[in-house]
Structure 1
Amino acid sequence: MQKTTKINKQIKNQTVQQLFWRYAVLTLMLFVQSSFGHEETHENQVDDYTISVVTETWFPFNYFDKNQEIVGTSTDLVKAILDHANIDYEINLYPWQRAFSYARTHKNTLIYSIFRTPLREDLLHWICPIAKRPVHSVYKLAKRKDIKIDAANDLANYTINLTRGTFPHEFFISKGMKEGVNLQLTATNDSNILMLLKNRVDLIVEAEMAIFQLIKELGLPEDTVEKVYTFDEMNQAPICMALSKETPAYIVEKIRQSHKALYPH
């Protein structure tokens, strides 16, 4: 009797083990099929996927040409990357504050050319870089002999015009300057140079390659403006493209891989 009971128990244990392993194998097979199914779905989705792309006017990276086409060195690269990733897109050019706000609040949105800063780090998915860092400096009208800048602290004695919401705006706020006191804000880079030329402000901040293009477009000689100060620390942040937080991870990764293929660094 005891021997029969022992044999029945062994048979029962073997049956339980067999059922356990069959269940484990079945679970694994379902998981693998599910994973491949998701990958296949994602690949199919990419073929029909469209993202919104936003940017601002900032020569030579992104701007309207004479035919009102959005062009520029960054624009060319962004288009090439998205084409390589097989992702459809539509590019719109807005004032910077509007473009930045749109990228933070709308899913499936890409913004460029944008500086990657600590304040912005957690707001977007970053893909960097897409251009060499331009040197930003502070400029005055050359004829303004009354403006004397020998050190950074001297800047607080004058009014500085900046584009609202830009990296230079963030930078000068971090240096203790105040809107409406030291800082005057406009919506676009074009407006900044006009404020300077009309003596509405004492100084503006701009990338060297951009300010001389603005001067040229206005039919003025380059020596109309004069560089008075450069913050080395303001020229350390990389220029990037970035995607809104709600953009699917596989789309972000696909664009990131295309960037890596076309812009090795």
Structure 2
Amino acid sequence: MWLSMNYGICFISLFIFSTVVRAVPVNKESFEQYLPVQIYSEIWPPFQVKDKQGKLTGLATDHVKSAFEQADVPYHILPMRWARALNFIKLKPNALIYSISRTPERESRFHWIAKLGRVNVKLLSLKESNEVISHPSQLTNYVIALKRAEASLDYFLGLGLEPGKHIIFVNNSEQALKLLDIGRVDFYPISAETLQSSLDIIGYSSSKFKYVYYFKALSFDIYIAANKDSDLAFISYINDLFDKCALCNAADASDILRNLN
């Protein structure tokens, strides 16, 4: 009798579960109130690039566009300053943001949709500099540039660096490179993948700079993510779009970058 009752309970549970799964919407018409999908980003070559015609492209952008266009789901990418993008995504359920680093501090703040690539962070200095860094704790003797809302801020604060004393905030990498060039800052932590694009924008030669330290702890995967208060059924649907995306599954952005180097 006990065994029969348990079989009955399992059957009923399975029936309820199957009914719930079948009830979950699986097409874009079920989410018309969220369309076009609002996606916040920034100009961050080579992952997000604005070409001469003003069209947004780049390694990560191509993945995002491919996922939505293959599924014929309308979307709208809004490039802006990164700090502003982070503020907007906090206020907009069912909106997305990319390319955002997946850190322990951010883990519970977003729904993580899909990996778009990997970034390797290195410490940049002027070529002529004789300063040697063997451990990041030594940075308390120097001044570094750091972008506003940078995910690595907590890391540097944890080393004892103080804003205004050891850290000068900038809006973008081009501004940081200019400060480095005139000696206003000693170092700038930057992803090796994005340096050349920033140099091209301001017309600097790579021969002016050199890497002096590799931040293994700061190197990270980049993702497209969603507001944490989003509709879970909608997030599941968007996850499915990326799972089925041919370009996204062919090779992630880090593989493409290795082929370019």
Shorter-normalised TM-score: what interval?
Answer: 0.7 to 0.9
**Equivalent position amino acid for 1:181 in 2:** K
Runs of at least 5 residues in structure 2 that lack an aligned partner in the other structure: 1-14, 252-261
Residue 184 of structure 1 corresponds to which residue in structure 2?
168
Sequence identity percentage = 24
Deviates more, 1:219-228 or 1:147-156: 147-156
1:71 is aligned, of 40, 57, 70, to 57
Structure 2 partner of 1:8: none
CA-CA distance at 1:140 after TM superposition:
0.7
- Partner secondary structure for residue 145 of structure 2: strand
Retained in 2: the 8 A contact 1:136–1:205? yes
Match for 2:207 among 223, 229, 232? 223
Match of 1:20 in 2: none
Distance 1:134 1:68, change over 3 A: same
Q: What is the CA–CA distance in structure 2 between the aligned matches of 1:38 and 1:233, rounded to whole Å?
A: 40
Q: How does 1:71-150 map to 2 (within 5 A)?
A: 71-131=57-117, 133-145=118-130, 147-150=131-134
- Cα offsets for 1:216-248 (capped at 9, x unmatched): 33333211111011121111x321000112322
The one-letter code sitting in structure 1 at the alignment partner of 2:120 is V
SS of the equivalent of 2:217 reads helix
Which residue matches 2:230? 247
CA RMSD of aligned residues (A): 2.5
Q: Across the two proteins, how many residue pairs are aligned to each other?
A: 232
Give the Cα separation in 1 of the matches to 2:141 and 2:217.
Answer: 21
Deviation at 1:47, TM superposition (A): 5.5
Please give the residue correspondences for 1:148-227 in structure 2 after superposition, counting only pairs within 5 Å. 148-227=132-211
Distance verdict in 2 for CA 1:176–1:86, change over 3 Å: farther
| 1:84 CA displacement | 3.1
Q: Is the 8 A contact 1:128 1:240 kept in 2?
A: yes
TM-score (norm 2): 0.80
Using the size of structure 1 for normalisation, the TM-score is 0.79
Aligned counterparts of 1:35 and 1:205: Cα–Cα separation in 2: 46
The amino acid of 2:180's aligned partner reads L
The alignment partner of 1:177 has SS state of coil
Q: In 2, are the aligned partners of 1:161 and 1:186 still within 8 Å (CA)?
A: yes
Partners of 1:87 and 1:212 in 2: CA distance:
34
Q: Deviations over 1:184-209 (max 9, x none)?
A: 11122222212212322111111112
Counterpart CA distance in 2 for 1:36 and 1:253 is 13
Q: What's the secondary structure of 2:226's corresponding residue?
A: strand
How far residue 43 of structure 1 moved from its aligned partner, in angstroms, is 4.9
Structure 2 CA distance for partners of 1:142 and 1:260, relative to 1, 3 Å = same
How far apart in 2 are the matches of 1:37 and 1:242?
A: 25
The verdict on how the C-alpha distance between 1:90 and 1:228 changes in structure 2, with shifts beyond 3 A counting, is same
8 Å CA contact 1:109, 1:243 repeated in 2: yes
Contact conserved, 2:174 with 2:202, CA < 8 A, in 1? no
Correspondence for 1:61 among 37, 47, 53: 47
Asked whether the 8 Å contact 1:85–1:254 carries over to 2, the reply is no
Give, as a single letter, the amino acid of the residue that structure 2 aligns with 1:121. E
C-alpha separation in 2, matches of 1:252 and 1:148: 46
Q: Which has the larger radius of gyration?
A: 1
Runs of 4+ in 1 over 6 A off after TM superposition: 34-38
8 Å CA contact 1:53–1:92 kept in 2: the answer is yes
Structure 1 unaligned blocks of 5 or more: 1-27
Q: Secondary structure at the match of 1:184?
A: strand
Code of the residue aligned with 2:235 in structure 1: it is V
Aligned partners of 2:184 and 2:53: how far apart in 1?
A: 31
Distance in 1 separating the partners of 2:174 and 2:205: 17
